[in-house]
Structure 1
Amino acid sequence: MAKKILVLGGGVGGVVAAKKLAERLRGRADFEITIINDTDYYLLPPLLVNIALGDLDPAQAQLPLSMLAKRGVRYVKANITKVDPENRTVETDKGKFTYDYLIASLGIENDFKTYNLGVGYHNFSLDGALKLREALRSFSGGNVVVFTPEPIYRCGVYPFEIVGQLDTVFRKRGIRDKVNITLIHPFEKPIQPLGPEAAKITMEVFKQKGINYVGNARPVEVDDKNKTVVITSDKVKYDLLIVVPPARLPKPFEGTSLVVDTPMGKWTAANVYTGRSPKFDDVYLPGEHSMPTIGLPTAGVPVHFTALASAGAIAGEILGQPIDPAQINAMTCAMDYGELGLMFNCDIKLDMNNNKANWMGSCYSILTSPLGKLIKDVFYKTWLKTTM
């Protein structure tokens, strides 16, 4: 009987895992791979900022999930409502699905309710990016505030990039002298997890560009009536507010035994080496919703590698071969600060005893040049073209 592999989520983790499994198993085993997602397309999240800044059209940042059919992967458009690992079922608005193996990579929920962030603009969805694009096109001057209230959000470098990119956009439009740019962030120093070298370079860029950094900020709320961001130590006025919503656990996992309480909130538990659930041998969780529990950032690169590891583990079991997940051992972070591009590498050591990926304190610069921006652009656009 064919092994039923159910993949939840049509983002980086789900697509990478489905593609890898199909490649490993085709012609070697009897299997069925089904991927469930709530949209018809795969969208590369890092390119949302390019859409917001007017550099890309939406069609250039997405691919139809139906393209996976050529690899033998069935696609179903549905809203996932509940994961039930005890009964090996997943509930959706199109009915229930059963599985022999489950790979769930559902990203994170963006929390716009806490701190009243819903009154600001953002680029954490396609609709949000398009609205931000229109707001930027009509903006003629004043106070621009980028507000990041909590330290866990999608793509940790984004707030530090966007302020540099906005500086460049406003300079090209000839209105930079009419704009005041401020970044409010919980880190004492910008991009602090990447270490003192990254923080120093970023602070120098901010100084050169005239960007204000309000660090170690403790958020209270956004007061839209008075157009101010309220933190415990100050009130910052804005004319254009761009928000970075905190990441939360996706709703289909709520109340399930896949979730654990951590000092960073409730997240799904996963093995750092394979992405497997510690409670269910048939469930793998290579999504952003597992990254805080294993010490990795809520970002695409660690999800990509964990998805490959999960696919490798499942294929090994089905084929009766040794499991060789080839999990992440380094992470390269490319940053676009406008005219300048930075590339930092972080060596990663997996601590199997404590189920953690240790990388903080092992990051170093490998490039500080306009070339870094080009490399980042080429990487993402090439990755999108070769994904399916």
Structure 2
Amino acid sequence: MGKKILVLGGGVGGVVAAKKLAERLRNRVDAEITLISDTDYYLLPPLLVNIALGDMDPAQAQLPLSMLSKRGVKSVKAAVTKIDPDNRVVETDKGKFNYDYLLASLGTEFDFKSYNLGVGYHNYTLDGALKLREALRNFKGGSVVVFTPEPLYRCGVYPFEIIAQLDTIFRKRGIRDKVDLTLIHPFEKPIQPLGPEAVKITEDVFAQKGIKYIGNAKPVEVDDKGKVVVTTSDKVKYDLLIVVPPARLPKPFDGTPLVVDTPSGKWTAINVYTGRSIKYDDVYLPGEHSMPAIGLPTAGVPVHFTALASTASIAGELLGEPVDPAQINAMACAMDYGDLGMMFNCDIKLDLKNNKALWVGNCYSILTSPLGKLIKDLFYKTWLQTTM
């Protein structure tokens, strides 16, 4: 009887894993690969900002998951409601699924309830990006505030990018002199984890663009009636509010033994080298929900590499071949500051003894030029077209 491999999540981790497993195992092992996602399409999250800024239509940023069928992967549209690793069962709103191997990459939950963030605009979902696009099109001037209440959120560079991109957009529309731009963020200095070089470049860009940065902010709430963001030390008025929701553990993991408590909250626990669950040999968790526990950012690049490591481990076991996960050893970060692009590389050392990926303090610029913006655009669009 063939092995049942269940992949949860139709994002970066799930799609990469399903594709690579199919390529590696096809015609070599009797295996049934099923991918479960709550949408029937794959959408590349970094392109949501392009949609919000009016540079791209949604259809250009997504591909149907059914394309994986040509590789022998079955896709099922269903919402995962519960994971039971003790009984090898996943429950969904379309029924239960059994597995021999489970690979879950469910991203993170976006917390819009805390701090009353739900009253602001965002581009963390397709619907949110479309609403933000409409709000920006109708905006004629006033105070724009980008509010990031907590340090853990999807794509760490995003708040610094969007505030700089808005400057460029408003300049092109000829209304920049009617707009005040403010970024409120918990980091003392902008983009601080990438190191002093990135901080200086970003501070210089903000100074040139007239962007106000309020760092080391300790959030209280958004007062939508008074149109102010309240922190312990400031009340910042806004006419247009863009929020960056904190990342939380996806609900299907709640109450399962896959989760551990960390200083940054509850997250799924994995081996830093393979992405395998700490407690279950047949479960792999290469998702954003595991990255904080091993010291990596909640972003697509580390998820991509961890998914590759997980698939190499699964395929190696099924094929009876030596396993070399080739886990991440460097992380490139491409940033779009509107009329300037930056690319930083962060060298990563895997600390296997402490089960951590160490990268903070090991980042350096490899490009600071308008060309960087073009490279970023080409990278994501090419990546999307070659995903399936």
Q: Do they superpose with TM above 0.5?
A: yes
| C-alpha distance in 1 between matches for 2:339 and 2:234 | 31
Query: What corresponds to 2:8 in structure 1?
Result: 8
Task: Give secondary structure in 1 for the equivalent of 2:121.
Answer: coil
Query: What corresponds to 1:95 in structure 2?
Result: 95
**What is the Cα deviation at residue 336 of structure 1?**
0.1
| C-alpha distance in 2 between matches for 1:35 and 1:116 | 34
Query: What corresponds to 2:113 in structure 1?
Result: 113
Query: What corresponds to 2:300 in structure 1?
Result: 300
Letter of the 1:359 counterpart? W
| C-alpha distance in 1 between matches for 2:40 and 2:275 | 26
Query: What corresponds to 1:143 in structure 2?
Result: 143
| C-alpha distance in 2 between matches for 1:250 and 1:221 | 23
Query: What corresponds to 1:173 in structure 2?
Result: 173
User: Superposed, which structure 2 residues align to 1:78-93 within 5 Å?
Assistant: 78-93=78-93
Query: What corresponds to 1:39 in structure 2?
Result: 39
Query: What corresponds to 2:29 in structure 1?
Result: 29
| 1:226 has 2:248 as partner | no
Deviations 1:304-334 (A, max 9, x none): 0000000000000000001111100000000
TM-score by length of 1: 1.00
| C-alpha distance in 1 between matches for 2:234 and 2:160 | 21
Deviations 1:231-253 (A, max 9, x none): 00010000000000000000000
Query: What corresponds to 1:212 in structure 2?
Result: 212
| C-alpha distance in 2 between matches for 1:327 and 1:18 | 17
Task: Give secondary structure in 1 for the equivalent of 2:68.
Answer: helix
Unaligned ranges ≥5, structure 1: none
| C-alpha distance in 2 between matches for 1:140 and 1:272 | 48
Task: Give secondary structure in 1 for the equivalent of 2:183.
Answer: strand
| C-alpha distance in 2 between matches for 1:12 and 1:271 | 19
| RMSD of aligned Cα (Å) | 0.3
Query: What corresponds to 2:332 in structure 1?
Result: 332
Task: Give secondary structure in 2 for the equivalent of 1:87.
Answer: coil
| C-alpha distance in 2 between matches for 1:96 and 1:3 | 17
| C-alpha distance in 2 between matches for 1:287 and 1:209 | 36
Task: Give secondary structure in 2 for the equivalent of 1:86.
Answer: coil
Task: Give secondary structure in 1 for the equivalent of 2:123.
Answer: coil
Query: What corresponds to 2:196 in structure 1?
Result: 196
| C-alpha distance in 2 between matches for 1:59 and 1:325 | 34
**What is the Cα deviation at residue 378 of structure 1?**
0.1
Query: What corresponds to 1:387 in structure 2?
Result: 387
| 1:73 has 2:41 as partner | no
Task: Give secondary structure in 2 for the equivalent of 1:102.
Answer: strand
Letter of the 2:153 counterpart? Y
**What is the Cα deviation at residue 283 of structure 1?**
0.1
| C-alpha distance in 2 between matches for 1:260 and 1:100 | 23
| C-alpha distance in 1 between matches for 2:44 and 2:82 | 25
Task: Give secondary structure in 2 for the equivalent of 1:229.
Answer: strand
| 1:355 has 2:355 as partner | yes
Percent of pairs with identical residues: 84
Deviations 1:237-274 (A, max 9, x none): 00000000000000000000000000000000011000
**What is the Cα deviation at residue 189 of structure 1?**
0.3
Task: Give secondary structure in 1 for the equivalent of 2:272.
Answer: coil
| C-alpha distance in 1 between matches for 2:242 and 2:316 | 45
| C-alpha distance in 1 between matches for 2:278 and 2:237 | 47
| C-alpha distance in 2 between matches for 1:128 and 1:155 | 16
Query: What corresponds to 1:367 in structure 2?
Result: 367
| 1:274 has 2:286 as partner | no
Letter of the 1:142 counterpart? G
Deviations 1:64-93 (A, max 9, x none): 000000000000000100010000000001
Letter of the 1:45 counterpart? P
Query: What corresponds to 1:377 in structure 2?
Result: 377
Deviations 1:270-290 (A, max 9, x none): 110000001000000000000
Task: Give secondary structure in 2 for the equivalent of 1:207.
Answer: helix
Deviations 1:282-304 (A, max 9, x none): 00000000000000000000000
| C-alpha distance in 1 between matches for 2:253 and 2:12 | 19
| C-alpha distance in 2 between matches for 1:163 and 1:248 | 24
Query: What corresponds to 1:257 in structure 2?
Result: 257
Task: Give secondary structure in 1 for the equivalent of 2:86.
Answer: helix
| C-alpha distance in 1 between matches for 2:369 and 2:212 | 22
Letter of the 2:247 counterpart? A
Letter of the 2:315 counterpart? A
Letter of the 1:28 counterpart? R
Task: Give secondary structure in 1 for the equivalent of 2:190.
Answer: coil
Task: Give secondary structure in 2 for the equivalent of 1:163.
Answer: helix
| C-alpha distance in 2 between matches for 1:185 and 1:64 | 36
User: What is the number of residues matched between the two proteins?
Assistant: 388
| C-alpha distance in 1 between matches for 2:96 and 2:53 | 40
| C-alpha distance in 2 between matches for 1:258 and 1:13 | 18
| C-alpha distance in 2 between matches for 1:77 and 1:348 | 36
Give 4+ residue runs of structure 1 displaced > 4 Å after superposition.
none
| C-alpha distance in 2 between matches for 1:140 and 1:324 | 55
| 1:125 has 2:125 as partner | yes
Task: Give secondary structure in 2 for the equivalent of 1:168.
Answer: helix
**What is the Cα deviation at residue 27 of structure 1?**
1.1
Query: What corresponds to 1:183 in structure 2?
Result: 183
| C-alpha distance in 1 between matches for 2:184 and 2:83 | 36
